[in-house]
């Protein structure tokens, strides 16, 4: 159905002239005696509805079904006509509900049978109906504004449903002529107006209603084109339930509805709570719901539904749903429904089962929430390792308090405090030499050493925090805390020693952090990989050191003080141990830094003879060292 | 979507085509050449799709049932015999049967009809079929439009001039019209030769078989994907918005929601989301078999080692029981989810919602969905024991608001009896009594049914006289009061007949006054 088809605007024009106060002559027993009542009471006399009551309740039922199935974009304007036209509501969406209409109808009240019939006419209402059809609805306005220069594509069509008591076929003709003429006139007016629209198509549905038992003075007539703009059809219907049935058929035709009857729904009996009986409930909905069904050739069409509705109903057997709502089912369509018999017990039992408990709505903020959601995704994915073995910090429970808040747009003082606590806690872990969950997959041996593990962890944490420093000044403070606390990064000098290749990597990964907004996040993991590779390389270097005494010093290992005290090893004996090599190197290095002690230089087998000059002075008397001192 | 290739193997397809300086070709060779090209393309880009091959003359035969094995299809092409005359209608009936049997009536299907434009003679010829089109009964209805969503592509092994020299082109155009305009006719540009056949099939491929590549994004995480089958353009409203909407090639995830909250929503179509590898030059490596198997394998191997966002997303959605909401275009969304193929295998899939600001009424407007952290208090509760969905509509539907309908006498009788039942249990049921009374009063005033108000007033007065001696004195007071108020309302004078006016219980205090007297 097009948005702006005839069904976009429906005008009800209901006759409020004195003769509508007449009885429809269909009696309703309302004083139904309940069982076990005192004998001998005569029930109150049945009452009957007026033509007016029948017309109003049938039109309300039409609106009820329409609003249920089309809560938006299908609008009703309700007009009653007597000595003038009373327009009960407007096209605005707020006016489109049963409560509004019922209240307005109550204010109008039933027709006054003693009013002067000469002053009253349905024509006032019909003229007002045409007028109101020219008025633009908010949906039309919106569409026109959106289409700009194509605004003329927005159609203005509508339907007038007029319920009246006509005197004759020629009276009906007169009403049709009046509508046609009025459309002609108003279209001229609308052509020169910005806030009115010309009527392109109008469907007039004239319903002549009369008391049961009387002869109709008006004959039925199927839809006929009176002009390119106006079509008209005439229905002559007895009042009472016949009128209601007619309007039920019409609402189905006008809004392309179809009927489905759900059968065999088990319901608990009010009287006997332990037993359940099966009931059927008939529902109306858009007929698209049946399209695939009919295509499959497997139609469950049953005979005409109760109460002689004009259409077939498709019967479906009730299937109590499983309470598993975590599964997605393939669904090609979902349709709004309206129960045919809304307040029958089985209908209300079914609808109450299907309706969930009232729940509440999320408050909308000024900003578009969906944009905020996207923004949040952007923040959360600034640093996101794809592989669990490539991350340390996201494998650490201890990091969670920081990682969960740092992605926020803004931090509270408490958040900052928690982040700082997290960092202190990590420092503490490092001091205690706690193990870290660093994956050894893909690395040879046991993986990086403990201090190297911490270096990787600190680097990763820094990457995470740096990705968010522009969020707020408090984020900046978290980074400052991190930088102050983390174990010192390697000295600049030593970094240089690590060679050109590694430098490149370092630069690249640092750039990735700076340009996180432009760069794909892979580069973060690239950086991480870089860190790991570096770890591996260093490990490999350590191995190289074992083999070749000429390798440069390992960057991290500063000569330890204790080394000076290790006893020198004999150079000449057998294969050289790493320790001796090491000591040698250290000694060599140290030796360059000071002038060697003269005694050591002249020593034989590490023994230097003291007081040699005395020996020279005294000739060859003293042969043993030391003796001379005792002299 | 599946494809049925319908190949004309009538004698006219064996007409020779003169190509200078080479061996003699027949039209069927050209056709086979074109189809080979199509099959090769599909094997590379559409390897998940099913294709069937039907050949026809006066009879039709399903040469290859729906398969993904393009080698089998290719082999069948070289094993086709020549038969008698063209009889298109029976072949199209055959296509209807084959497709409906395999796919039912809801799966869209493409039909590629390969013919030379000679439409047969006598009974069963297309001219005859079209001439008798209006005299069909339901039992021998013409097979078009196909009883499933379809596109009919007619590949003519003839050029335009040749077809226009007879009424062939008109007849074929009628066929497309009969299929509700769904489809297109392709003819050979210029002389009939392999090159021109290739370019004709190339056009078909461009139109109907180009794979849909997109970039799936979630914040900074991205993946190159193929969406399969290709999402088709969608027209929302022919009148206001007649331009078909096409989905973005940037598919941006905007958020995640519980499966229970989205609860099996209606969708336009479903698609597999397959990660694709892009090589250094930015050319797509493809997910299918290429001539250069080695290259492709190594590329796939490399691709297999690179962490892919699709894998992360699929796994997460599966574990969390959630779907990702994805933006497809302006005011157009869809969802990504894990769909179990079997117990062990599941796939990342994407379903498209109907375009519009509010495709799923129970979620409200899409742009109003936002991060949980923005809400003042967690809408899911601290223990995740509640949900903000489904949203309640501003105006409740009739079945949720206790409307009054008296079209059937039983409706009216039930409402009156409710009042009566409560009247007999006064004063305990005072609140319910007045609630039901006011409901009836409101409806009667709206319907202008003042006689009912009088009638119910009379009934309440009678009830008052029938009260047993043991009845609480308040019962009589309330009944009299209620009856009096209804009578006033039934006069219709505005003072008492206001719609929003409610009859309130009469203020009585028996305990207090009697205690004082004692």
For residue range B426-452, what is the model confidence (pLDDT) as tens digits? 889 999 999 999 999 999 999 999 999
Residue B452, token pair as written in the block? 């009912």
Terminal-residue alpha carbon distance, chain B: 91
How far is the alpha carbon of A516 from chain B, nearest alpha carbon, in Å? 9
Read off the pLDDT of residues B267-325 as tens digits, 9 standing for 90 and up: 999 999 999 875 444 444 444 444 445 555 566 666 677 888 999 999 999 999 999 99
By Cβ distance, the residue of B367, B379, B393 closest to A370 is B367
In chain B, the residue whose alpha carbon lies closest to the alpha carbon of A38 is B466
Residues from chain A that touch B336, judged by Cβ atoms under 8 A, are none
Q: How far apart are CA B370 and CA A369, in angstroms?
A: 4
Tell me the three state secondary structure of residue A445: coil
CA atoms within 13 A on the CB side of A563: 17
The structure tokens listed for B505 are 């219980």
Whether the CB of B302 is below 8 Å from some CB of chain A: the reply is no
Q: Name beta bridge partners: B284.
A: B278
Please provide the size of chain A in residues. 631
CB contacts, 8 Å: A361 with chain B = 364, 388, 391-392
ipTM confidence: 0.82
The Cα of B320 is separated from the nearest Cα of chain A by a number of Å equal to: 10
Q: Which of B351, B370, B377 is the mutation pick for testing A, counting most A CBs within 10 A?
A: B370
Q: How many CA atoms lie within 13 A of A256 on its CB side?
A: 16
pLDDT tens sequence across B110-168: 999 999 888 888 777 888 888 888 888 777 788 888 988 899 999 998 888 888 888 88
CB B242 within 8 A of CB B330: no
> Are B399 and A330 within 8 A, CB to CB?
no
Q: How long a stretch of residues is chain B?
A: 518
Extract the tokens encoding B185: 């006719």
Residues of A in contact with B405 (CB under 8 A): 57, 60-61, 64, 342-343
Contact (CB, 8 A) for A323 and A353: no
pLDDT of residue B137: 78
**Dihedral (C-alpha) A576, A581, A584, A585: value to the nearest 10 degrees?**
150
How far apart CA A152 and CA A156 sit, in angstroms, is 10
Q: What angle do CA A412, A413, A414 make, to 5 degrees?
A: 85
- The Cα B440–Cα B503 span in angstroms is 11
- The number of beta carbons lying within 10 Å of the beta carbon of residue A344 is 19
Q: Do B220 and A525 touch (CB under 8 A)?
A: no
* Interface probe, candidates A16, A22, A57, A237, chain B, greatest B C-beta count within 10 A: A57
- Dihedral sign computed on CA atoms, order A613, A616, A619, A623: positive
Number of Cβ atoms within 10 Å of the Cβ of B79: 8
CA distance B59 to chain A (A): 26
**B500 lies within 8 A of chain A by CB:** yes
Contact flag A292-B106 (C-beta cutoff 8 Å): yes
A11 has which bridge partners? A77, A160
Candidates A190, A174, A50, A88; CA nearest to A131 is A190
* Kind of pairing between the strands at A157-164 and A201-210: parallel
Backbone angles phi, psi at A457, to 5 degrees: -60, -45
CB A545 within 8 A of CB A551: yes
C-alpha A201/C-alpha B235 separation (Å) is 24
Helix (H, G, I), strand (E, B) or coil at B452: helix
Give per-residue pLDDT as tens, A568-608. 444 444 566 777 777 878 777 777 777 767 777 677 777 77
**Nearest C-alpha of chain A: how many angstroms from B332?**
13
Q: Which residues of B touch A368 (CB under 8 A)?
A: 367-368
Q: Residue B181: is its pLDDT beyond 60? A: yes
What is the rounded average pLDDT of the residues B9-21?
A: 79
| The two structure tokens encoding residue A26 | 């269909």
- Distance, in Å, from the CA atom of A319 to the CA atom of A301, rounded to the nearest integer, reads 18
What is the torsional sign of CA B122, B124, B128, B134?
positive
Residue with tokens 């009046």: A178
Residue A543 to residues A438, A537, A563: CA-CA distances in angstroms? Answer: 21, 10, 21
CB contact under 8 A, A30 and B413: yes
The rounded mean pLDDT for chain B is: 86
DSSP for A478-509 reads HHHHHHHHSPPPPPHHHHHHT-HHHHHHHHHH
Span B466-487, pLDDT tens digits: 888 888 989 999 999 999 999 9
Q: How far is A583 from chain B (nearest CA, A)?
A: 45
Evaluate whether A288 touches A335 at the Cβ level (below 8 Å): yes
Instruction: Provide the token pair at B465.
Output: 């006289």
Contact B397 A360 (CB under 8 A): no
Is-contact B373 A368, C-beta < 8 A?
A: no
Please give the backbone phi and psi of residue A218, each rounded to the nearest 5 degrees, phi first: -125, 140
* Cβ pair A612, A629 in contact under 8 A: no
Tell me the helices (H) and strands (E) count for chain A, helix number first: 20, 14
Q: What are phi and psi of A479, to 5 degrees?
A: -65, -40
**Beta carbons of B219 and A344 less than 8 Å apart:** no
Q: Do A28 and B412 touch (CB under 8 A)?
A: yes
Is B172 within 8 Å of B199 (Cβ atoms)? Answer: no
Output the six-digit token pair for A139: 């949906």
The answer to whether the Cβ–Cβ distance between A343 and B405 falls below 8 Å is yes
Q: Which of B311, B320, B448, B464 to mutate to test the interface with A (most CBs of A within 10 A)?
A: B448
In A, minimum Cα distance to B238 occurs at A2
Question: How many Cβ contacts (< 8 angstroms) between chains A and B?
Answer: 271
Task: Please tell me the distance from the alpha carbon of residue A256 to that of residue B113, in angstroms, as a whole number.
Answer: 36
Indicate the residue of A31, A52, A371 with minimum beta-carbon distance to B459. A31
Number of H helices and E strands in chain B, helices first, is: 15, 15
Q: Are A103 and B499 in contact (CB under 8 A)?
A: yes
**What is the pLDDT, as a whole number, of residue A114?**
92
Q: How many CB atoms are closer than 10 A to CB B433?
A: 27
pLDDT for B438 equals 95
| pLDDT tens string A99-158 | 999 999 999 999 999 999 899 999 999 999 999 999 999 999 998 888 888 888 899 999
Contact assessment for residue B247 and residue B216, using Cβ atoms and an 8 Å cutoff: no
In terms of Cα–Cα distance, which of A180, A161, A196 is closest to A229? A180
* B439 close contact with A: CB closer than 8 A: no
Q: What is the DSSP string of B350-411?
A: EEEPPSSS-SSGGG--GGG---GGGSSS-TTTTTT---S-SPPPSS--GGGTT----SSHHH
Is A342 in contact with B386 (Cβ distance < 8 A)?
no
Q: CA A135, A140, A144 angle in degrees (round to 5)?
A: 115
Positive/negative CA dihedral, B84, B89, B94, B95: positive
B373 touches chain A (CB under 8 A): yes
Relative orientation angle of helices B409-423 and B430-446, to the nearest 10 degrees: 150
| Beta-strand runs (E) in A538-594 | none
Strands A257-268 and A312-317: parallel
Q: Which of A63, A56, A177, A186 is nearest to A123 (CA)?
A: A177
Distance of CA B344 to the CA centre of its chain: 28
Chain A contact for B449, CB < 8 A? yes
B60-77 pLDDT, tens digit per residue, is 999 999 999 999 999 998
pLDDT tens per residue, range A258-277 = 999 989 888 877 666 677 78
In chain A, residues with a C-beta closer than 8 Å to the C-beta of B108 are none
Q: Which of A296, A336, A370 sits opposite B104 (nearest CB)?
A: A296
* Closest of A471, A297, A444, A313 to residue A380, by C-alpha: A471
Instruction: Calculate mean pLDDT across residues B77-81.
Output: 85
Contact B398 A338 (CB under 8 A): yes
Give the pLDDT confidence score for residue B194 in this predicted structure. 83
**Sites in chain A below the pLDDT cut of 70:** 1, 33-39, 270-273, 295-311, 321-325, 356-367, 439-447, 487-576, 596, 601, 615-631
Q: Which residues contact A338 (CB under 8 A, 6 or more apart)?
A: A64, A65, A68, A69, A283, A284, A285, B397, B398, B399
Which of helix, strand or coil describes residue A55?
A: helix
Inter-chain residue contact B339 with A328, CB threshold 8 Å: yes
A277 within 8 A of A266, measured Cβ to Cβ: yes
């Amino acid at each position: 159905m097009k948005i702006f088809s005839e069904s976009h605007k429906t005008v009800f024009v209901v006759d409020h002239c004195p003769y509508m106060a007449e009885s429809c002559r269909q009696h309703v027993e309302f004083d139904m005696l309940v069982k076990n009542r005192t004998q001998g009471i005569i029930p109150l006399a049945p009452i009957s509805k007026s033509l007016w009551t029948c017309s109003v309740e049938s039109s309300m039922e039409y609106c009820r079904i329409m609003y249920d199935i089309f809560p938006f974009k299908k609008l009703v304007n309700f007009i009653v006509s007597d000595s003038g036209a009373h327009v009960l509501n407007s096209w605005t969406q707020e006016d489109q509900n049963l409560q509004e209409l019922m209240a307005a109808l109550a204010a109008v009240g039933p027709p006054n049978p003693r009013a002067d019939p000469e002053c009253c006419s349905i024509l006032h209402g019909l003229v007002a109906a045409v007028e109101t059809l020219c008025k633009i609805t908010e949906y039309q306005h919106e569409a026109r504004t959106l289409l700009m220069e194509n605004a003329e594509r927005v159609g203005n069509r509508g339907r007038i449903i007029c319920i009246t008591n006509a005197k004759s076929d020629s009276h009906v003709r007169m009403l049709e002529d009046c509508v046609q003429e009025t459309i002609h006139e108003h279209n001229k007016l609308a052509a020169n107006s910005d806030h009115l629209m010309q009527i392109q198509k109008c469907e007039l549905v004239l319903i002549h209603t009369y008391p049961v038992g009387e002869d109709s003075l008006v004959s039925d007539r199927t839809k006929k084109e009176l002009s390119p703009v106006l079509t008209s059809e005439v229905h002559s219907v007895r009042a009472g339930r016949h009128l209601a049935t007619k309007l039920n058929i019409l609402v189905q035709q006008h809004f392309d509805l179809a009927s489905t009857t759900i059968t065999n729904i088990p319901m608990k009996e009010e009287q006997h709570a332990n037993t359940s009986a099966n009931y059927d409930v008939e529902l109306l909905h858009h007929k698209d719901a049946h399209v695939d069904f009919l295509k499959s050739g497997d139609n469950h069409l049953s005979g005409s539904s109760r109460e002689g509705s004009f259409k077939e109903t498709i019967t479906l057997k009730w299937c109590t749903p499983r309470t598993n709502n975590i599964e997605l089912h393939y669904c090609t369509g979902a349709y709004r429904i309206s129960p045919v018999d809304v307040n029958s017990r089985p209908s209300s039992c079914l609808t109450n089962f299907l309706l969930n408990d009232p729940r509440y709505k999320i408050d909308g903020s000024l900003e578009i929430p969906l944009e905020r959601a996207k923004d949040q995704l952007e923040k959360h994915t600034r640093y996101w390792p794809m592989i669990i073995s490539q991350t340390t910090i996201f494998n650490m429970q201890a990091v969670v308090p920081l990682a969960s808040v740092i992605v926020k747009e803004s931090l509270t003082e408490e958040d900052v405090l928690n982040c700082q606590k997290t960092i202190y806690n990590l420092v503490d872990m490092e001091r205690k030499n706690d193990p870290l969950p660093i994956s050894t997959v893909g690395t040879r041996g046991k993986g990086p050493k403990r201090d190297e593990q911490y270096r990787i962890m600190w680097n990763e944490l820094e990457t995470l925090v740096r990705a968010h420093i522009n969020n707020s000044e408090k984020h900046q403070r978290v980074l400052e805390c991190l930088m102050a606390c983390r174990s010192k990064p390697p000295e600049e000098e030593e970094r240089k020693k690590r060679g050109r290749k590694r430098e490149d990597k370092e630069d690249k990964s640092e750039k990735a952090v700076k340009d996180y907004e432009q760069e794909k996040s892979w580069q973060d993991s690239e950086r991480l990989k870089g860190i790991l590779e570096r770890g591996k390389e260093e490990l490999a270097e350590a191995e190289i050191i074992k083999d070749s005494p000429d390798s440069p010093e390992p960057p991290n290992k500063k000569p330890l003080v204790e080394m000076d005290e290790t006893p020198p090893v004999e150079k000449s004996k057998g294969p050289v141990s790493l320790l001796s090599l090491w000591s040698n190197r250290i000694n060599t290095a140290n030796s360059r830094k000071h002038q060697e002690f003269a005694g050591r230089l002249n020593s034989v087998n590490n023994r230097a003879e003291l007081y040699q000059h005395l020996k020279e002075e005294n000739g060859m008397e003293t042969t043993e060292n030391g003796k001379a001192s005792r002299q | 979507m599946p494809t049925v290739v319908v190949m004309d193997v009538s004698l006219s397809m064996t007409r020779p085509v003169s190509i200078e300086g080479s061996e003699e070709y027949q039209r069927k060779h050209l056709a086979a050449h074109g189809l080979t090209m199509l099959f090769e393309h599909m094997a590379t880009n559409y390897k998940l799709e099913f294709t069937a091959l039907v050949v026809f003359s006066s009879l039709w035969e399903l040469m290859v049932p729906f398969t993904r094995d393009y080698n089998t299809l290719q082999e069948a092409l070289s094993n086709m015999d020549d038969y008698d005359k063209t009889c298109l209608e029976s072949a199209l009936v055959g296509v209807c049967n084959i497709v409906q049997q395999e796919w039912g009536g809801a799966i869209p299907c493409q039909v590629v009809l390969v013919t030379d434009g000679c439409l047969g003679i006598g009974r069963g010829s297309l001219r005859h079929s079209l001439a008798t089109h209006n005299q069909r009964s339901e039992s021998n209805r013409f097979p078009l439009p196909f009883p499933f969503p379809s596109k009919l592509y007619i590949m003519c092994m003839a050029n335009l001039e040749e077809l226009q020299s007879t009424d062939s082109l008109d007849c074929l155009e009628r066929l497309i019209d009969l299929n509700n305009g769904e489809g297109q006719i392709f003819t050979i540009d210029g002389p009939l030769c392999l090159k021109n056949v290739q370019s004709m099939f190339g056009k078909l491929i461009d139109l109907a078989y180009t794979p849909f590549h997109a970039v799936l994004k979630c914040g900074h995480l991205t993946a190159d994907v193929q969406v399969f089958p290709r999402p088709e353009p969608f027209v929302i409203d022919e009148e206001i918005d007649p331009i078909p909407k096409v989905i973005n090639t940037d598919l941006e995830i905007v958020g995640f929601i519980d499966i229970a909250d989205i609860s099996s929503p209606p969708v336009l179509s479903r698609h597999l989301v397959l990660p694709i590898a892009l090589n250094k030059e930015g050319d797509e490596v493809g997910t299918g078999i290429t001539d250069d198997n080695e290259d492709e394998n190594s590329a796939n191997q490399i691709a297999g080692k690179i962490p892919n966002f699709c894998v992360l997303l699929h796994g997460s959605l599966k574990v969390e029981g959630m779907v990702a909401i994805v933006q497809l275009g302006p005011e157009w969304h869809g969802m990504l989810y894990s769909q179990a193929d079997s117990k062990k295998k599941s796939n990342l899939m994407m379903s498209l919602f109907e375009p519009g600001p509010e495709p799923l009424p129970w979620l409200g407007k899409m742009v109003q969905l936002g991060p949980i952290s923005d809400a003042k208090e967690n809408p899911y509760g601290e223990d995740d024991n509640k949900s903000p969905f489904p949203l309640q509509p501003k105006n409740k539907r009739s079945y949720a608001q206790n409307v009054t309908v008296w079209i059937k006498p039983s409706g009216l009788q039930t409402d009156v009896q409710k009042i009566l039942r409560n009247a007999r249990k006064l004063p305990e049921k005072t609140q319910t009594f007045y609630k039901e009374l006011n409901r009836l009063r409101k409806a009667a005033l709206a319907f202008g049914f003042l006689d009912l108000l009088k009638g119910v007033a009379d009934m309440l007065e009678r009830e008052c006289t029938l009260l047993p001696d043991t009845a609480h004195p308040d019962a009589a007071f309330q009944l009299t009061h209620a009856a009096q108020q209804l009578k006033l309302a039934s006069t219709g004078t505005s003072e008492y007949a206001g719609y929003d006016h409610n009859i309130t219980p009469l203020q009585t205090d028996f305990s207090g006054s009697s205690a004082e007297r004692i």
